[in-house]
Structure 1
């Protein structure tokens, strides 16, 4: 008896396109998060560089540089490990349906987290870490579901709320010493604003 032929759904062109899209997103996210680990290992190997000084220092002119650099600076292995999971899961969701979604969420989260830490952080403190990005991605995904009113973004928003909502609620409250709740709040606000602007611009472009 001849063996049945196994056929994959979709055309070869469609499968190739999907594979290419997946590959591009995996590579981008791996490079993005991997660059943070590279900076962390550099800071451990060369402590005299004192890279943490490039974080956000509230209400100082030089401290504004931290808006760009703080997400790549971490105080310990536990610090960067705690942020990596959220970056990978939420960052991956932000990459769909367009890679541009990821960049607008990243820009909004970095600006929001950095500015809030700079404006409202304690004097002589230094704010570092990618947790502002994690909170920003979550805010972006939830807000995108609200603004687009489409099924898939709404389901993603519900997943984010159910999976990360409780920890994020405690993360924006000034409950724990040394926790930059200012950057967390700013990240959420920046992510929400990025989703609002992105949804509006795409609606006008239709």
Structure 2
């Protein structure tokens, strides 16, 4: 069985995807900042209308809007840098996969907030997405067996491991529920959105059957080469008894 060959990396495609990921994340940040400007001008009415209220069925659609809203300018500034860095690293392997991952993180982080936050609490912010992208980037390279992504994951994990302290249940003053839900969603997303390669065939190649020389009066062996004209003539004479 021939050994499976790893395809050579397509660096041109990687550069194109990285450029596309940069534009996508730049657009996301522009959207978040524009929403906050409107939020600020309306005395943060968007936060009131679009925040997640724990265990209120009518607030379930707010799982989609809450990650893009913030409490104040300091909250927005604190999330913008990590959101862009981890979002870009999550998106540069494919924007379509990134959009699916973002939808997954909005659900997992928002559901954790909705289920486990204190009664009558209102929660907004992109921290759940940030933690989800972080978990995805750290684990993706190991699952895909990609050296570049594995190195990125090691560097990011070692550099930002301290943020995991804010995903510990019971941490006061922050929405640890959203952080933990986003982190678990990112780890799950690394498996769900993994690189799927076609399976190599495991059937052994059959060896060619050697050609056998034909004798007068004998039938050609299965898989032998075609008989020559002289061999055909000898066989016909033998059949006639000559």
Q: Return the TM-score normalized by structure 2.
A: 0.72
8 Å CA contact 2:47–2:124 kept in 1: the answer is no
Match runs of 1:115-194 below 5 Å: 115-167=111-163, 169-173=164-168, 174-177=170-173, 179-194=174-189
Shift of 1:164: 1.2
Q: Does the Cα contact within 8 Å between 2:132 and 2:182 map onto a contact in 1?
A: yes
Corresponding residue of 2:231? none
Q: 1:143: Cα distance to partner?
A: 2.0
**What's the C-alpha RMSD, in Å, of the aligned pairs?**
2.2
Report deviation, 1:121.
0.8
Three-state SS of the structure 2 residue aligned to 1:175 is coil
Say which structure, 1 or 2, has more relative contact order (CA 8 Å, 6+ apart): 1
Aligned partners of 1:52 and 1:128 also within 8 Å: no
* Deviation (angstroms), 1:73: 0.9
Q: Pick the aligned partner of 1:73 from 66, 69, 73.
A: 69
Q: Is the 8 A contact 2:47 2:71 kept in 1?
A: no
More helix per residue: 1
Q: Which whole-Å deviations, capped at 9, do the CAs of 1:38-59 have from their partners, x for residues lacking one?
A: 1111011111734333111111
Q: Output the CA distance in 1 between the equivalents of 2:29 and 2:172.
A: 26
C-alpha distance in 2 between matches for 1:126 and 1:138: 24
2:82 corresponds to 1:109? no
> Using a 3 Å threshold, how does the CA distance of structure 1 residues 120 and 204 change in structure 2: closer, same or farther?
farther
- Equivalent residue number for residue 92 of structure 1: 88
Given candidates 47, 54, 58, the residue that maps to 1:58 is 54
- The answer as to whether partners of 1:91 and 1:137 remain within 8 angstroms in 2 is yes
Q: CA 1:29/1:57 → structure 2, altered by over 3 Å: closer, same or farther?
A: same
Write the distance in 1 (CA, Å) between the matches of 2:135 and 2:111: 16
Aligned residues: 189
Q: Which runs of 5+ in 2 are unaligned?
A: 1-10, 201-242
Residues 10-29 of structure 1 aligned to structure 2 (within 5 Å): 21-29=17-25
| Structure 2 counterpart SS, 1:162 | helix
Task: Give the superposition deviation at 1:146.
Answer: 2.5
Assess if the C-alpha contact under 8 Å between 1:109 and 1:136 holds in 2: yes
Local SS of the residue matching 1:59: coil
CA deviation digits over 1:137-166, x for unaligned, max 9? 011112212311221111111122112111
Question: Are the aligned partners of 1:54 and 1:66 in contact in 2 as well (CA < 8 Å)?
Answer: yes
Structure 2 vs 1, CA of residues 145 and 19 (structure 1 numbering), >3 Å: closer, same or farther? closer
- Tell me the equivalent position of 1:4: none
* Cα separation, 2, equivalents of 1:205 and 1:56: 43
Aligned-residue offset at 1:128: 0.4
